[in-house]
Amino acid sequence: MKKKNSTIILILVIAIIIMINLIGARISFRADLTEEGIYTLSDATKKILSELNQPVTVTAYFSEDLPPDVSRVRNDMIDLLIEYNRLSDGKVVYRFVNPNESEQTEQEAMQNGIEPLLINVREKDQMKQQKAYLGASLTMGDSKESIPFMQPGGAMEYALTTCIKKLSVTDKPYIAMIVGHGEPTLDQLFQVMQSMSILYNFQAFKMDSTVTEIPEQFKTIAIVNPTDSIPQPHLMAFDRFLARGGKIYVGLNRVQGDFQTTTGYAVSTGLETWLKSKGIDIDEYFVIDANCGNVTVQQVQGMFRYNNQISFPFLPVAYKFADHPVTRGLESVYFPFASPVRFIGDTTSLRFTPVVFSSDKSAVLRAPQFFDIKKQWTQNDFPQANITLAGAIEKKDSTRWSPFMFVAGDGDFAINGPREQAQQLMPDNVNLMVNAIDWLTDETGLVDLRTRGIATRPIDELEDSTRAMIKWINFLLPILLIVMFGFYRFYRMKIIRNRRLEERYE
């Protein structure tokens, strides 16, 4: 009888497994447990896909037989394209090509802008380098875009969606970079320009004594680090631009440092007075922060000279951000010689949101300042916390709050310098400025996707207590699970033995 019951149970289990597989083939379900929901498509992507009026062909050039950490990118791409195909009612079609398969497919990948990279793979206990491709080419009609390389853990959805948007958009908004008052050229902002060119016509617009009006074609203007005085007619032009519904990005250097003279001084262009009339106060203070960048100092020891990196609190590195579309997903932004941003305006018509902050160990010092490079900084030098370094301002319309201005207390955090001498910026320095202009200008919601990816959480940046807790959990949890399983097995076997000793045990 007992054997018969076991057979019936086994048949029922097999039948249930078959039923679940049949149902699962028709119904897909996936739970996204990541911190930022990186496997859940955004509303912006869904809207863009639903509005496609022509098919988009995605040719994914992905090498096969790659190490697990790299091949995961291919699997994520497959899942993403399945979703894109479904949400676009079949307008997004795709195919996968292995460029390593033949010389012809490799040439095809390279002609479509896919860049090969060398990765280390282990084969027969030996390390060797293998050429790999992780990119895609997208076509719509006669137009073509490419994603040269998919970074593992990167913003894959943003890369795909922006390419589709770029292919389908017919009328890009115009953004003006104001020049004529000592501002940097577009060439000095080439990383920002590259990102902006995807969705916008980003152009320099020079203002002088004969040009005192901003053309109607511009939806947003960017005023970045002016160093000369801005005449009153130009400030009045900014007023008229805002009055007709335009949006303004401002990155202002209220203070500046000179390493040649080891001094810091105040900067006045007239823009700070204009901002104050709009309720934004950026005064002539330096923000100093214990979380900061380094300067190279030449030191002498005996007959030898050597360079030494020294922390310099006048170069804050911000890592605290508000949960806002401009800063969502950012991890750190380098703010050299920044000033605090304060809102003193009318809260009934304007809404100010601080979005970038100093650390818990910071302070402000009024300009001018003498830079003592060798100063030994202590905890007492940083009595303040969460000083606002940048903020987003919204204006109340008849029915809702809408983006109005974005103001940063540092003007050159996104400037590379002349291209031939340029330094590669930290990615989030570029992302902050581009996100801010996106938030002011774009209504698709793509700003939320640019920094959407797998966030890095280096253990050495955690607090000591948190780091110790994680280490102990990693050490003790496997042992605890083994002990618990041992107790479970011991008591289970004990119950079985007791049952066998019972007189009526069958």
Q: Looking at the structure, do residues 186 and 265 belong to the same domain, yes or no? A: yes
CA distance 110 to 116: 8
Judge contact between 455 and 362, C-beta under 8 A. Answer: no
Q: Given a cut of 70, is residue 239 above it in pLDDT? A: yes
Contacts of 158 (CB under 8 A, 6+ apart): 446, 449, 450, 452
β-pair type (174-179, 218-224): parallel
**Secondary structure letter of residue 384 according to DSSP:** B
Point out which residues pair with 350 in neighbouring strands: 395
Q: What is the CA radius of gyration of the chain?
A: 29
Q: Any idea of the CA torsion for 121, 126, 130, 134, to the nearest 10 degrees? A: 0
Position 454 pLDDT exceeds 50: no
Domain end, chosen from 167, 200, 232, is at: 167
What is the pLDDT, as a whole number, of residue 413?
Answer: 93
In this structure, the answer to whether residues 294 and 369 fall within a common structural domain is: yes
State what percent of residues in the chain have pLDDT above 90: 43
pLDDT of residue 33: 45
Q: What tens digit of pLDDT does each residue of 298-324 get? A: 766 667 777 778 899 999 999 999 989
pLDDT at 416: 83
Same domain, residue pair 195 and 278? yes
What's the one-letter identity of residue 3? K
d(CA 48, CA 169): 10
Helix (H, G, I), strand (E, B) or coil at 206: strand
pLDDT at 203: 93
| pLDDT tens per residue across span 62-103 | 888 777 777 788 888 888 899 999 989 999 999 999 998 888
Of 188-197, 246-255, 430-439, least confident by mean pLDDT is: 188-197
DSSP state letter for 11 = H
The arithmetic mean of pLDDT across residues 238-244, rounded, is: 95
CB-based burial label for 9 (10 Å; 0-12, 13-18, 19+): exposed
pLDDT of 386: 96
- Residues 223, 318, single domain; the answer is yes
Say how far apart CA 287 and CA 318 lie, in whole Å: 11
CATH number at residue 84: 3.40.30.10
Q: Are 137 and 114 in contact (CB under 8 A)?
A: yes
At 212 the pLDDT is 87
Q: In terms of domains, do 229 and 342 share one?
A: yes
pLDDT value of position 258 = 92
**61 located within any domain:** yes
Average pLDDT value over all residues in the chain: 84
In-domain check, residue 6: no
Q: Which among 116, 115, 104, 168 is positioned nearest to 138, based on CA atoms?
A: 168
Instruction: Evaluate whether residue 25 is within a structural domain.
Output: no
Beta bridge partners, 502, equal: none
Least-confidence region, from 190-194, 409-413, 459-463:
459-463
Q: Are 367 and 439 found together in one domain?
A: yes
In a domain, 14, yes or no: no
Residue 149 sits in the same domain as residue 289: no
Q: Is 403 helix (H, G, I), strand (E, B) or coil?
A: strand
Decide which of 452 and 339 is more confident: 339
The angle at the Cα of 428, spanning 220 to 157, to the nearest 5 degrees, equals 80
Least trusted range by pLDDT, from 210-219, 236-245, 483-492: 483-492
Enclosing domain of residue 128: 43-167
The segment with the largest mean pLDDT, out of 176-180, 373-377, 495-499, is 176-180
In this structure, the number of other CB atoms found within 10 A of the CB of residue 175 comes to 23
> CA-to-CA distance for 252 and 222, rounded, in angstroms?
11
Asked if pLDDT for residue 445 goes beyond 70, the answer is: no
- 3-class DSSP assignment, residue 461: helix
Residues 141 and 227 in one domain: no
pLDDT category at 420 given cuts 50, 70, 90 is low
CA 276, CA 376: separation in Å to the nearest integer?
Answer: 36
Torsion angles phi and psi, residue 29, rounded to 5: -140, 135
Q: Is the pLDDT of residue 460 over 70?
A: no
Report CA-CA distances (Å) from 201 to 67, 190, 194, 224. Answer: 40, 14, 11, 17
Assess contact for 166 and 201: CB atoms under 8 A.
Answer: no
pLDDT in the model for residue 18: 76
Q: What is the pTM of this model?
A: 0.71
Encode pLDDT of 147-197 as tens digits: 888 876 667 887 888 888 888 877 788 999 999 999 999 989 988 988 888
Largest CA distance in the chain: 109
Which is more confident, 21 or 264? Answer: 264
Q: What's the mean pLDDT in 240-250?
A: 95
Residue-wise pLDDT for 17-65, tens only, equals 777 666 654 555 555 444 555 556 777 788 888 888 889 999 999 888 7
Which amino acid makes up residue 375?
K
**Shared-domain flag, residues 449 and 466:** no
Number of structural domains (the chain) is 3
CATH number of the domain residue 195 falls in = 3.40.50.880
DSSP 208: B
Residue 386 lies in a domain: yes
Which residue, of 135, 167, 199, is where some domain finishes? 167
State the average pLDDT over residues 265-274: 96
**Is 212:234 a contact under the CB 8 Å cutoff?**
yes
Phi, psi for 173 (deg, rounded to 5): -65, 150
pLDDT of residue 338: 96
Q: Are 325 and 420 in contact (CB under 8 A)?
A: no
Q: Is residue 258 one of the residues assigned to a domain?
A: yes
pLDDT in tens, 89-143: 999 999 999 998 888 988 998 888 888 888 776 666 666 777 888 889 999 988 8
Tell me the percentage of the chain whose pLDDT exceeds 70. 83
The answer to whether residues 91 and 54 touch, using CB atoms and an 8 Å cutoff, is yes
Name the β-bridge partners of 278: none
The residues that bridge with 405 in the sheet, in sequence order, are 248, 393
pLDDT at 40: 66
Of 339, 334, 346, 391, the C-alpha closest to 363 is: 339
Whether residue 140 sits in one domain with residue 287: no
Quick one: average pLDDT of 331-336? 93
- Chosen domain end from 128, 152, 167: 167
Domain-embedded: residue 12:
no
DSSP 259-317: TTTTEEEE---SHHHHHHHTTEE--SEEEEESSEEEEEEEEEETTEEEEEEEEEEEEEE
47 within domain boundaries: yes
Residue 188 has which token pair? Answer: 């000095």
Where does the pLDDT of residue 503 fall: very low under 50, low under 70, confident under 90, or very high at 90 and above?
A: low
User: Token pair 């993403």 is at which residue?
Assistant: 80
pLDDT above 50 (res 6): yes
Q: What confidence score (pLDDT) does residue 238 get?
A: 97
What is the C-alpha to C-alpha distance for residues 87 and 35, in angstroms, rounded to an integer? 24
- Looking at the structure, tell me whether residues 191 and 227 fall in a common domain: yes
pLDDT of residue 172: 83
Same domain? 133 vs 266: no
**CB-count exposure of residue 167 (10 Å: 0-12, 13-18, 19+):** middle
